[in-house]
Amino acid sequence: MFASFNRIAMLSAVWIVFAGAFANAEAAGPPEAVMKMLNEAARDGSDPGELELTAMLAKRAYPEAALEIDRTVRRLERQRQRHKVVAEAPRSLRDGWTGEGEFGASASGGNTNETSINLGFKAERETATWGNTFVAKADYKKSAGTTTVERFLANHQSKYKFDGKLYGVSLLQWESDKFAGFDNRFSESAGLGYSLKQARKWTWDVTAGPAFRQTSRVDRSYEADIEARLSSHIAWFLTPGTTVTQDTNLFLGPGNNTYQAVTALTTKVIGAISARASFDYKRETSPPPGLVGQDTVSRLTLVYGF
């Protein structure tokens, strides 16, 4: 009730100022009192609708100054956004981090002796302008005394958000996968990203840019290629505790190309603990002789969010 009364009082005061100013209007544009009213409507902590309403009344009183009023409103909105960024920014590098740890393991004996371990870690930090994400993964599997899966990955991705849905993105990545034909592979990439969809039920982001990859193969050969990197991230929020994600990464160049797609279903179990089922498909187009370029990994893991 008091909020409604204050809003009515504010509107009355605004209209009185406009009416008085309009009675003595000059062709030069809105008077100083009107500009002060716009600045007051844009003050920190004010209702965002106040500036819009004040600007509408000002343009009714001074239609010939509509362009100047719009320019002032845009300037005030940018200023308020900058103040918001400063106010919401973490106070130290340790503030504002979220993440998750992922663990899965299985062992069987008797007719089939098999052991598998899946580990994952992710930490990310988002501000109004910057985003940073660290990811580490390890997959290991031994069957009948023979190692069949041994994959390791670590990367850091950062992004700088421009106005709207466009942002700049960079990636630093290390991989090791002997069964895909390489002991070490380093990737560096920079480019642009765009948010194609930001809805309550689902989101879709894509990125593209050049990449430089250096690969040390298991046959002791070495490659360094300039390539193109394309990626896509889609998230469907099925329920408040259940999410389906689809991550696709492509490295395309004159030598070996890499295609990878990871589909995951994550559902909350209790508290900060969730269960995740995922399927990872990866293909190298030019593996060393004797190796198959296509690999798949299925995971059932528990996830702890923090």
Q: Are 77 and 85 in contact (CB under 8 A)?
A: no
Q: Are 263 and 245 in contact (CB under 8 A)?
A: yes
Q: Report how far Cα 262 is from the mean position of its chain's Cα atoms.
A: 17
What is the 8-class DSSP label of residue 17? H
What is the 8-class DSSP label of residue 287? P
The residue type at 59:
K
Q: Report how far Cα 114 is from the mean position of its chain's Cα atoms.
A: 37
The three-class DSSP label of residue 161 is strand
Query: Could you tell me where the DSSP H helices lie in 155-236?
Result: none
Write down the pLDDT at residue 110. 67
> What does the alpha-carbon distance between residue 174 and residue 116 come to, in Å, rounded to a whole number?
22
Query: Could you tell me where the DSSP H helices lie in 24-65?
Result: 32-41, 48-61
- HSE value, Cβ hemisphere, 13 Å, CA-based, for 20: 10
Write down the pLDDT at residue 84. 62
Write down the pLDDT at residue 79. 74
CATH code at 97-305: 2.40.160.40
Residue keyed to tokens 């992710």: 122
Q: Per the structure block, which two tokens stand in for 24?
A: 């003595």
Start-to-end CA distance of the chain, whole Å, equals: 40
> What does the alpha-carbon distance between residue 173 and residue 188 come to, in Å, rounded to a whole number?
7
Residue keyed to tokens 């009515």: 8
In the chain, what are the domain boundaries? 2-88, 97-305
CA-derived radius of gyration, the chain? 28
Q: What is the pLDDT along the chain (306 residues), one digit of tens a residue?
A: 444 444 544 544 444 444 444 444 444 456 677 777 877 777 755 666 777 888 888 888 888 877 888 888 878 777 776 666 555 555 566 678 899 999 998 887 766 678 999 999 999 998 888 999 999 999 999 988 889 889 999 999 999 999 778 999 999 999 999 988 899 999 999 999 999 988 889 999 999 999 999 999 998 889 999 999 999 999 999 998 999 999 999 999 998 999 999 999 999 999 999 999 999 999 999 888 888 888 888 999 999 999
> What does the alpha-carbon distance between residue 167 and residue 181 come to, in Å, rounded to a whole number?
34
